[in-house]
């Protein structure tokens, strides 16, 4: 048995190939499936099985793409009621692949239909060697049960039972291969290490150390980080079966006049350049999400779905990578990018705007004199840890609605930890008619080091 790990930064998604001598299974595949096909080809393997642990909420799965290209059978939770051709499996079912056996256990908790696969290498023995835990058990954490309105306590209770009566009864040496790592919002406190063992998690995982069911439910249903908007959409898309990636066109360059006409026709304009570049010059009414940040999650969180998307990028390769990341979170209508970039747009005499970036000293002077209002757009957890005395708190993603609480005639300074999320916030305010918006360069980190915040 060979286990090959694949990891996607940003969404912090882990998927796996489990290989025998001639064939292999792919577990929880990403939508861009070339990585699995290439690995299989390089190692003389046929992809014959595709195993899904649950209907993923934070990304679009590649099960249909992989089945389309390889002819492999898809195995998915029976209670997921998936609409695409698949083999429905539930607790007690077993999947045989050469000298490997995958035993299915029901592990409702993170989602109602969740299952895990216990892998046994029968060529060596009958002791389980690996648990493919999906989003039930992470390294240092467990799956959050609060993604289904009105069912958080029910799912947390199920999660507790399944962890203690099924997963924690596996041998201590059994390896744990989760579907996410640090950086994912499918849990709260995942460790940086990407794999573990049952024994190590029993000893050090905070959630498994909570012995009382009541305390576990309370801990897992309070103080959870906010969930992005696309978490609700992706599950439904994965259940129905996403469009095949080969049917989606690559974004093409669009010259300035046609680009402007598409904007006026209602296309969504997304600038994916760095936040300093966006601050210096951008097209009015642009959304901005810095491609170098947690791009896919942030896009899925705030962009309205089902709209045609136009990109502004530094170059074609950046536009193509941005399109791939957008498709990972369910945005398929990406028609093109601005040919020639902002240089061509500006030299054509077309409208431009900017968001000045200011240093901490200037920001503090403006705030203390009452000439500007400082908006801290970091998360609730960051704000609770420490914040500037004269700031107000509105998380960046909430500004889509809470901008109505602000006076658009006032002068605002937006601040996150470093500048990227503040740039998203600035673009939201500018889209809603706020004319005087500044970005605090270096964010809270710089403001704190300059002595203006604790």
Whole-Å CA distances, 252 to 109, 244, 317: 42, 19, 11
Q: Minimal CA–CA distance to 6: which of 24, 18, 21, 20?
A: 18
The mean pLDDT of 43-59, rounded to a whole number, is: 98
C-alpha 283/C-alpha 259 separation (Å) is 11
Domain residue ranges of the chain, discontinuous segments joined by +: 2-236, 248-347, 357-449
> According to the model, what pLDDT value does residue 398 have?
98
The pTM of the full predicted model, rounded to 2 decimals, is 0.95
The mean pLDDT of 38-47, rounded to a whole number, is: 98
Same topology between domain 248-347 and domain 357-449? yes
**Tokens for 382?**
């960051």
The mean pLDDT of 373-377, rounded to a whole number, is: 98
Band of the pLDDT at 262, cuts 50, 70, 90? very high
2-236 topology per CATH = Metallo-beta-lactamase; Chain A (3.60.15)
Band of the pLDDT at 358, cuts 50, 70, 90? very high
Pair 267, 308: CB distance under 8 Å = yes
CATH number of 357-449: 3.40.250.10
Pair 13, 138: CB distance under 8 Å = no
Domain 248-347 has CATH 3.40.250.10: yes
> According to the model, what pLDDT value does residue 326 have?
98
> According to the model, what pLDDT value does residue 4 have?
98
Phi, psi of 431 (to 5 degrees): -65, -25
Pair 31, 328: CB distance under 8 Å = yes
Average of per-residue pLDDT values in the chain = 97
Give the model confidence (pLDDT) of 183-211 as tens digits: 999 999 899 999 999 999 999 999 999 99
C-alpha 68/C-alpha 73 separation (Å) is 10
Give the model confidence (pLDDT) of 266-304 as tens digits: 999 999 999 999 999 999 999 999 999 999 999 999 999
Phi, psi of 88 (to 5 degrees): -75, 135
C-alpha 114/C-alpha 180 separation (Å) is 14
Phi, psi of 311 (to 5 degrees): -110, 145
Listed in sequence order, the residues at least 6 apart from 28 whose beta carbon sits closer than 8 Å to its beta carbon are 13, 14, 15, 16, 51, 52, 53, 56, 61, 132, 134, 179
């Amino acid at each position: 048995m060979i286990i090959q790990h694949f990891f996607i930064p940003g969404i912090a998604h882990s998927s796996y190939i489990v290989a025998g001598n001639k064939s292999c299974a792919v577990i929880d595949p990403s939508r861009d499936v070339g990585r699995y096909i290439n690995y299989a080809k390089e190692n003389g393997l046929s992809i014959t099985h595709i195993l899904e642990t649950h209907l993923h909420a934070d990304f679009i799965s590649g099960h249909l793409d992989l089945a389309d290209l390889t002819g492999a059978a898809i195995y998915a939770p029976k209670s997921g009621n998936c609409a695409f051709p698949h083999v429905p499996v539930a607790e007690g079912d077993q999947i045989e692949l050469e000298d490997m056996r995958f035993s299915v256990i029901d592990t409702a908790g993170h989602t109602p239909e969740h299952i895990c696969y216990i892998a046994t290498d029968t060529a060596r023995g009958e002791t389980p060697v690996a648990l493919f835990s999906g989003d039930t058990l992470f390294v240092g954490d467990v799956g959050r049960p609060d993604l289904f309105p009105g069912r958080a306590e029910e799912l947390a209770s199920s999660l507790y039972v399944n962890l203690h009566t099924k997963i924690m009864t596996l041998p201590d040496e059994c390896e744990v291969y989760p579907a996410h790592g640090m950086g994912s919002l499918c849990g709260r406190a995942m460790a940086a290490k990407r794999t573990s063992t049952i024994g190590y998690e029993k000893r050090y995982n905070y959630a498994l150390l909570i012995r009382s069911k009541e305390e576990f439910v309370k801990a897992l249903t309070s103080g959870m980080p906010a969930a992005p908007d696309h978490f609700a959409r992706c599950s439904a898309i994965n259940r129905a079966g996403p469009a095949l990636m080969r049917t989606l066109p690559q974004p093409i360059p669009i010259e300035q006049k046609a680009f402007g006409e598409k904007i006026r026709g209602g296309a969504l304009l997304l600038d994916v350049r760095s936040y300093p570049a966006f601050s210096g010059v951008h097209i009015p009414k642009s959304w901005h999400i810095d491609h170098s940040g947690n791009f896919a999650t942030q896009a899925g969180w705030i962009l309205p779905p089902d709209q045609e998307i136009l990109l502004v990028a530094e170059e074609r390769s950046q536009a193509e990578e941005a399109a791939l990341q957008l498709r990972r979170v369910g945005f398929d209508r990406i028609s093109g990018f601005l040919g020639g970039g902002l240089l061509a747009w500006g030299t054509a005499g077309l409208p431009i705007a900017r968001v000045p970036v200011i240093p901490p000293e200037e920001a503090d002077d403006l705030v203390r004199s009452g000439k500007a209002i400082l908006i801290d757009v970091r998360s609730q957890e960051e704000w609770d840890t420490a914040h500037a005395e004269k700031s107000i708190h509105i998380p960046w993603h909430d500004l889509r609605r809470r901008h109505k609480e602000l006076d658009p005639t006032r002068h605002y300074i937006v601040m996150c930890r470093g500048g990227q999320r503040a740039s998203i916030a600035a673009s939201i305010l500018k889209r809603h008619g706020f004319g005087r918006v500044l970005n605090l360069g270096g964010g809270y980190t710089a403001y704190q080091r300059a002595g203006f915040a604790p």
